[in-house]
Amino acid sequence: MMPYFKFDYFGFDFGLVVAFIIGIGFGFALERGGFGNARILAAQFYFYNMRVLKVMFTAIVTAMLGLFYFAWIGWLDLSLVYVGDTYILPQIVGGLMLGMGFVIGGYCPGTSVVSASTGRTDGFVYLLGIFFGIFVFGEMFPLLEGFYNSTPMGRVTLPEFLGISHGMVVFLVVAMALGAFAAAEWGEKKIAKKSGRGVE
């Protein structure tokens, strides 16, 4: 729970309170951004409302720039930032399954919680599906454990994997984000013009 918990500035119980407050704030921001609505979320796959791409890329770039410059001026030790191990094949398969569920149901796990908390029936159904999937995976884990732990790469970051500096990765991601924003705007206008409706 942030670096403060790692340095034992507060205990586990207070850490849960902090997590609860951050979670409520994050959920509120998602709901106010329209991310509790499956139609808005699914619209990105039909290219007529790219709000999700824009918001997520903005969040990624903001966090990345903050980490990079805080580390550069000595306010943050990047070695203390948790990075999970990479298991490339099972994570690719898991990502594809998550993406398929996103397209079919219109939600990712976080946005389904936001939707359910605002009383949407489809959000509740999706959330029940998540818990059912967790239960099935847990029951089948002994059969899947070999695949789950396959193709381990350890703790790897893009600069290490690509063999380039952190600064160059930051530059490339920012350039990619700007390109994605421009392409999203162009695509939204083109599809809106073709379908005869404005961008939502």
pLDDT for 5: 66
Contacts 24+ apart (CB under 8 A), 85-88: 85/152, 85/153, 85/154, 85/155, 86/152, 86/153, 86/154, 86/155, 86/156, 87/148, 87/149, 87/150, 87/151, 87/152, 87/153, 88/151, 88/153
The SS3 call for residue 107 is coil
Give domain limits for the chain: 1-32, 35-195
| 76 close to 142: Cβ distance less than 8 angstroms | no
pLDDT for 3: 57
163-199 pLDDT, tens digit each: 999 999 999 999 999 999 999 988 888 887 777 655 5
| Ranges of the chain whose pLDDT falls below 70 | 1-7, 196-200
What distance in Å separates the CA atoms of residue 152 and residue 86, rounded to the nearest whole number?
Answer: 6
pLDDT for 167: 92
pLDDT for 200: 52
Averaged pLDDT score across all residues of the chain = 88
pTM above 0.85, yes or no: no
What is the DSSP secondary structure assignment for residue 44, as one 8-state letter? Answer: G
